[in-house]
Amino acid sequence: MYTLYWCPRTASLAPELLLALAGLPYEKRLIDVKTGQNREPAYLAINPTGFVPALALPEGGTLAETAAIMLYLCDRHGLDLAPAPTAPERAAFLQDMQFLSSVIQATYKRVYFPQRFAAPNPGDPGDPADSAVAEGIKARALEMQEEHWALMARRLEESGGPFLAGARCTAADLYLAMLASWHPAEVGLVERTPALARCVGAVMALPAVRPVALENGYRLAEV
């Protein structure tokens, strides 16, 4: 039995979708990021970065990092949610997983927590993260995301969709669907990008996905 350390509306959704789609046995432990439970010693002992998700393994030990958890489960259980190591589609799959993790997911931090990236305002001790600088960081992150998502949309168009590997859903599509649904609603990214809308819609239409998405706080209107 796996234990997934999770929190609604966080990156734990993608590994949970994978666990559910694969029919793997798992239980969940809530780590409430809003109340700072992820920074308490008990959770830091499980994942020293304090990030959610983490996955406790049946034989003991814990694995963190969203992409690593998903790749690990695919490989360990030979899931058809990942192309086999020697399959021609494997290279693009790994590239997509890494890009989603280290570029798209990472850039969201600048969109939602730009103050973490801004130095204190030298002219105002009451402004520990210079608000004007933080605003600029967020604006630039949103511009960069336009480029990043355009690349993903192109990948989807080239594959013929609805998924990154064409007709076959992989872990990368689960990851993409989660990250696309994080994008600020007022920007309308998914609505104005047909390839993304098709992929997100196809992931959310998978029977095992909807109940998990709902429990994770993703409204159906968003997906």
Ligand X SMILES: N[C@@H](CCC(=O)N[C@@H](CS)C(=O)NCC(=O)O)C(=O)O
In the bound state with ligand X, the residue whose beta carbon lies nearer, of 100 and 195, is 100
Strand partners, 29: 5
Phi, psi for 78 (deg, rounded to 5): 55, 40
Cα(73)–Cα(70) distance, integer angstroms: 5
Shortest Å distance, C-beta 183 to ligand X: 14
In the bound state with ligand X, the residue whose beta carbon lies nearer, of 6 and 163, is 6
Counting Cα atoms < 13 Å in the Cβ hemisphere of 67 gives 17
Q: 62-64 and 2-6: which strand pairing?
A: unpaired
Binding site for ligand X (CB under 6 A): 10-11, 33, 38, 50-52, 65-66, 101, 105
N-term to C-term CA, the chain: 29
In the bound state with ligand X, the residue whose beta carbon lies nearer, of 9 and 140, is 9
Shortest Å distance, C-beta 122 to ligand X: 26
Shortest Å distance, C-beta 66 to ligand X: 4
In the bound state with ligand X, the residue whose beta carbon lies nearer, of 33 and 209, is 33
User: b/e string for 103-131 if b means 16 or more Cβ within 10 A?
Assistant: ebbebbebbeebbeebeebeeeeebebbe
In the bound state with ligand X, the residue whose beta carbon lies nearer, of 107 and 121, is 107
Shortest Å distance, C-beta 31 to ligand X: 8
In the bound state with ligand X, the residue whose beta carbon lies nearer, of 104 and 195, is 104
Shortest Å distance, C-beta 138 to ligand X: 16
Sequence-distant (≥ 6) Cβ neighbours of residue 75 within 8 angstroms? 82
Strand partners, 3: 27, 56
Greatest pairwise CA separation for the chain in angstroms:
57
Counting Cα atoms < 13 Å in the Cβ hemisphere of 36 gives 2
Shortest Å distance, C-beta 101 to ligand X: 6
